[in-house]
Each structure stands twice: as structure tokens, then as C-alpha cells.
Structure 1
């Protein structure tokens, strides 16, 4: 009689083919790969958007690519209370400025512990940060014996911080941690000691956590995610998009990803170098920017299908990733495996590491370096571009194969279930 398949619950803040987010896409493709060997279920919210977490999908059970998805409704929290809690955990309450101006903050803090972050501050912050899905947490608590392993995605959100301690001895944690201010606040100070096993995306992420937190779970591995070349039928490009006459960004279009700054730099580049005005910047993904950019050099393609995304990608001159905070950046690796050169924000260690380790691509930390990178790839010969592109592809194929990644997850699942 064959062994019964191990049952895995993958807990993630949002899930769906339409969901636009790196960690969420990572969760979906990992789930689909693991489902070839294990019985996988998704535990998630009904939200499609992380701005406000409004209910979009119907709660209850459904199937996506033959995987069972259990959705739980989100509940909105008081925004005013959330803002106050945020100021508390960052130790930036409004009246602190006045006390500092008067020169009495330090003495007052010593006497009255003004900057102490309370458990109530933490609780209010987590509910507001969301997605607040109390029914999901209750389900984990009531059904923890029904699953062999729980895989939690993303350190930042309520389902992980509140749900993972309930099944700590059965948990694998994929933190997707970035070097960002919120990581170092009280809600997350003990989170890395909770899981049975931590699966990091990169060595940079592992070092970030180990250098900044105590009592970390020592059972860990660096797996990342498998990246494969696209084998589907590529879509037709819109008529106004001319191959090799544009740079591309793919992902959530928002200030937090550096999109406003890269647009500003690109427009300044064209002012400084008018001869390059024929080149465009195409942004693919859902637009969350508040400012409207009415300029013929900036094209917002919107949310597109996989076939359309790869058509845009393969015809671009290079891909730009301006984000300050990444734990892996799957889209950067996808570009490289498709033989696209990348221009990345050098202030992000993970992105900079991809460029340094591969030996190709450009990183920038200043506007001038960004200009130089654009100019370099515009002026590069076709032969030089092909040589670089081959190196980029080989880097991904050698370091991010599904065979290697899945073996590491097999070992982690075996460890969690046997120990």
C-alpha cells in the first residue's frame, strides 16, 4: 500500500492568478510544484489588494489549478488607531517632538517609559496592518492536527505573526524579509524564534536576519524559488511599442517600489540627452500611483496576462528594478532567464547581489549612475548584448532550478514531520 501523502497548509496573505505581488506569485508557483508530491491546501484571505484588504473573493472553498483554496473574510480596523500604533512602534508619537524640542524627552522617558511599546500597541498595529482574518487564525487553531506541515509566507502580516505560534512545531517559515524599518520593530522581534524551520530566499536575507535578531531558529536553508524559461505562446505587442526601443518595469506600480523615482529619473535622462527621446519606459502591472504622468515616454501597460508579460519582456532593451526592498525579486530572475539585461537599485543588497554574482547587469545608487546604465545598454552592440544575455541566463539556470529548490523543501518537510 503506497504511503499516504503528507498534507500541507500554505498560509499566505493573498492568493490568486490575478493577484499582483512577488511573494504571492512565489507562494502560488511553489504550491503548484509541491502539489505534485503532497496534498496542498491554501489558507488565505478574500482580499485581492493589499491596500485596505477589501473583500473581493467569496469566502469558502474553491480550486485554482486543481489546488484547494480556503478563503476567510477580512475585517477593517480603525485607521486612526492604526496610525497611532504605528507611531508607537516606531517611537515617533506626536508629542515626542515637543519634548525633544524642549530638551526634556530623555529625562521624561527615563522616568515614565514614554517610548515603551506595549502589547496593546502591537496588537492594534497587527490588526491594522492586516489582513485581519480572525476566522483563518481560528481555523488553524481548530485544525492543526489535520495537517502535517504549515508553510507561512511573509513576516509582515497578521496571519503569520498570529497564526504561526499556534502551530510552531509544524511550521516552515518563508519570511521574505527586507532590510526595511518595520522589520526591526517590536511586533517582529521574536518572530524568527517561532518556526520549526526557516526557508530563506537568498543568502543576503539569511545574513540580514541572523545579524539583527536573537534566538533565531537554527534549522534553516536557503532555497529561493525555481525559475523556468517561458514556453507559452507570446502575445502580440501593441502597435505603439517598438522592440528594443523601450526599458521595462514589471510589478506593482507604486512609490514603495521606487516607481515614482525611476519615472522621474527617466524623464530627466531624456531632457539631458534629447537624442534618446525615442526610447520609452513601459510599466507593466497594476498602477497604485497617485500622480498621473502625462508624457509620451511613459507607458502604463496595466495588468496583463503571462503571455503578454513575456511579450513585453522579451522585446525590451533591458529591465529596470528600482525597488529598495527585495528578498529575492523573482521578476529580476525571470528577466535574466529570458536573456534580458537588468538595471537594479544598488541600495538593495539582494538585487545588487544578483548583478555581482552573475557578473552582468548594472546597479545604480545615484541618478548619474542610472543615466550611465541606460546609456550603456542603448549604445551596446548586438554581439555584446548577446554575450551578456547568455551569462545572465546561465546564472539563473545554475542557481535557481526547481529540482534543487524542491529537494530542499522535501528535506525540510521530512525534518519537520519526523522531529
Structure 2
């Protein structure tokens, strides 16, 4: 059996980030066709970067997971380097905004201006692991394909250059400043293949890296729904759930715009008093807001998560930056009403392509109006439950997705 590996910043049953869960689902399904290794770090908290795992090797669902220590993290030093590297990134982003970056990239696909400083900056990041890269360099010939998850971490930037001829990048990219760094022109033009999640993500990359970008296609990911769901009584008792709640699940962090969701929900409750509460599920990566209408469950099992979705009045994803949004797709697969941030082109596209089996908001007032319509009004998407399920089934079927990835690997 041929051997492949995934390189990802975090991995394990205790990890609930979108790209990391995406990686785990792909790895476990591909393990029926290949011997799969995971190369990762011992970190979970991507703010403190303290080691969470103590062992260097474990087996999870018959997959070998190799964990490596990272370099000590100095936040002040890293921020200093970010400031030193901002001008080339800002210049490229300005060219993108005025529509010039794509034609320029056709002539100058690779940028070296500022790359030296960016390399130093990446080495100060909390996920940087010299040991991980050494292991990959020593074992690259063991693998038919090396699959890198998420474009901006150090393991991808440095690791993909170790054996670019057998490297597959799953970038999980969105329109953010790091995507415009000159160092990314090396990654996006030298890897063997880039596997995007959506058409919107693919078009964004094409407009940044131009026609010289590596071979690419849309692979995406399927939606997992095979965990045992506890009874409603068990869930409500364990988490002291209110009768009516809206739900967000995933990383509870500023990067996911959760602080804005909390603030808007509290203001909404002032205007429209009710028993409705906001339930936040996942690891906490920002200060906890102590408010009687906001509840935190902490990390939950997969089955508990699905149960929380099933019984929620409404599921909300406030993130502005998504390359796919498993949150949205999982909720749709369960036929739930989902309200998302329309500033995310990817999630907005899901709403439109599904015939509005999900909906989006574009402002605070819009958010409040749609909360009223979906939670208390007669606009609940219950009539569109079948439409939501059909959309996910049609476009995010596991057999189709795994065959796409197997075809890419076969060409390595």
C-alpha cells in the first residue's frame, strides 16, 4: 500500500478548528486506500502556543500521528516582524484591489521583494517547528504525496518547498492580508497541485497569482453525520440549556467575529426581550463575556455538537473569512435554519446556490430583522429543510470528493 502524509498545525480528537477537522476527515477516509501519516505539532491553543500533547507519537483510528515541539513563542518579537514585512504585502493587496495584480502576475509570477524578512517573520510564529521540518526533509521519499493544510502556517510555507513535486496544497484561503505576501507566490506557483474548497476560493487565488499558478482544481470536503446523538433530555441536562437558543460552534475567537455576534445579540435582546439565549460551543480563544443571555458549553463531542445543532432554534456563523464553512454545511445537512455573515463571499454563495436554503445578513439591523423573522416569525426555513439537505448531498458527497483527491495523488 502506498504511503501519503498530511502536514497540519493541529490534529486530534480534542481539536475543533475547521481546517483541522477537514484534515482529519480526509485522512481517515483515505486510509482505506493508502497508509496515512499525520505530521503535526503538540499545540492546540494558537494564542499561547503552549504544548498540549505530551507524546511524540500516537495512533488515532489506525493513523500514525507524529507530533513535534515548536520553538518558544515571543508575541512581541513576532509582531515586530509583522510590522517590518507589511509594505510588500500591502502593495500587492493594493494592486489586487485595483484589478492589476492578475495581469502583472502573468509577467512576474514570483516576487522576491521582502521575502527574506518574511522568512524571518514566519520563523517567529508559534507553530514554527524546526524538528517537524527536519523530519519531513528526512522522510520525504517515504511518501507518494505530501498534503499541506492551510496556506499561511510555517509548516506549509517551508514544508511545501522540501518536495514541491509531490506536494498538494489545500489552502483554505480567503481574502486576508497574509494571502498577499510575496512568499506565497513561491508556494502557489511551485507545489504540484492546489485543491480548493469552492469556486469562490479558486477565483480569488487566480486573481492573485495569475495564470502561472500551479495546477489546481476544486476538491472540497464531505460532511460528517455518523456520530451518536444524545437525547434531548441528556443534552439539556448536561449543558443546562434553555428551551430556546441560537447556536454558534467552532473556535470562539475574534478571528471568527464571535465578539461582534455576542455584542449584537446582547443589543438584540435589549430591543426584543425574550427567553432566547446565545449558546457558544467550542474552545475559548478570547475573553469570556459574562452575561446572562450568553452561555458557553466548552469543547463537546461530535455527537453532542450534532445534538446542539439539531435542537437549536437557529444556527449562526458570524465569520467574515471562510474557505468552505463546515459549520454551515453540517447544519444544512441536518436541515437546520442557518444565518451567516454575508461579508463572506463563500457563505453568501452557499446561500444563493442552494436557493436560499440558508440566509445571510449584511448589517446589524439586517441581523436583528432576520433574527426576528427566523426565530419568532413565520419565515423559518422549515419548508426549505429538504432543499438544504439536497444541496449538501449533491455538492459535498464523500465518494466524489475522495475520488477527486485520489486522482490527484495518482499523478504524483
Same fold (TM over 0.5): yes
- Larger deviation, residues 73-82 vs 18-27: 73-82
Q: Distance in 1 between matches of 2:210 and 2:123?
A: 25
Partner residue in 2 for 1:325: 321
Distance in 2 between residues matched to 1:20 and 1:229, nearest whole Å: 15
Q: CA deviation at 1:118?
A: 3.5
Q: Is the 8 A contact 1:230 1:338 kept in 2?
A: no
Give the equivalent residue in structure 1 for 2:176: 180
What is residue 108 of structure 1 aligned with on the other side? none
Q: Secondary structure at the match of 2:393?
A: helix
* Alpha-carbon distance in 1 for matches of 2:60, 2:277: 36
Structure-to-structure mapping, 1:97-136, within 5 angstroms: 118-136=114-132
Matches within 5 A, 1:294-305: 294-305=290-301
Superposition RMSD in Å: 1.9
Q: Is the 8 A contact 2:317 2:340 kept in 1?
A: yes
- Note the alpha carbon deviations across 1:262-307, whole angstroms, 9 max, x for none: 1111111111122xx21111000111222x4222211111111112
Counterpart of 1:254 in structure 2 is 253
CA contact (8 A) 1:230 1:310 kept: no
* Corresponding residue of 1:40: 36
**Cα separation, 1, equivalents of 2:216 and 2:182:** 23
What residue number does 1:95 align with? none
Q: Where does 1:109-258 land on structure 2 (aligned, <5 Å)?
A: 118-214=114-210, 216-235=212-231, 236-239=234-237, 240-243=240-243, 245-258=244-257
Q: 2:53 is paired with a residue of what secondary structure?
A: coil
Are residues 1:392 and 2:391 paired? no
Counterpart check, 1:379 vs 2:367: no
| Partner Cα distance (1:130, 1:157) in 2 | 10
Seen in structure 2, the aligned counterparts of structure 1 residues 190 and 143 have a Cα distance that, compared at 3 Å, is: same
Structure 2: how far apart are the matches of 1:141 and 1:128? 20
What is the Cα deviation at residue 81 of structure 1?
2.6
Q: Does 1:84 align with 2:80?
A: yes
SS of the counterpart of 2:235? coil
- Give the secondary structure class of the aligned counterpart of 1:311: helix
2:269 corresponds in structure 1 to 270
Between stretches 42-51 and 402-411, larger displacement belongs to 42-51
What secondary structure is seen at the aligned counterpart in 1 of 2:323? coil
SS state of the match for residue 190, structure 1? Answer: helix
TM-score (norm 2): 0.89
Q: Which has the larger radius of gyration?
A: 1
Deviations 1:158-207 (A, max 9, x none): 00000111110011110011111221123323221121011101111000
Query: What TM-score do the two structures reach when normalised by structure 1?
Result: 0.88
Provide the rounded CA distance (Å) in 2 between the counterparts of 1:228 and 1:120.
Answer: 41
Is contact 1:77–1:127 with CA below 8 Å preserved after alignment?
A: no
SS in 1 for 2:411: helix
- C-alpha contact (below 8 Å) 2:332/2:358 kept by paired residues: no
**Alpha-carbon deviation of 1:87?**
0.7
- Write the distance in 2 (CA, Å) between the matches of 1:185 and 1:58: 34
Further displaced range: 391-400 or 207-216:
207-216
Go from structure 1 to structure 2 and tell me whether the alpha carbon gap of 1:66 and 1:282 turns closer, same or farther (over 3 Å shift). Answer: same
Count of matched residue positions in the alignment of Structure 1 and Structure 2: 385
Q: Distance in 2 between matches of 1:210 and 1:222?
A: 13
Q: Is the 8 A contact 1:45 1:73 kept in 2?
A: yes
In structure 1, the gaps of 5 or more residues are: 93-115
Q: 1:8 to 1:213 in 2, by over 3 A?
A: same
In the alignment, which of 13, 19, 23 is matched to residue 19 of structure 2?
A: 23
Gaps of 5+ in 2: 89-111
- The list of structure 1 runs, each at least 4 consecutive aligned residues, that deviate by more than 6 angstroms after superposition, is none
1:369 matched to 2:366? The reply is yes
Name the SS of the counterpart of 1:270 in structure 2: helix
The 3-state SS of whatever aligns with 2:251 is coil
2:345 aligned residue (316, 332, 349): 349
Post-superposition offset of 1:117: 5.8
Given that residues 81 and 117 in structure 2 are in contact (C-alpha distance below 8 angstroms), is that contact kept between their aligned partners in structure 1? Answer: yes
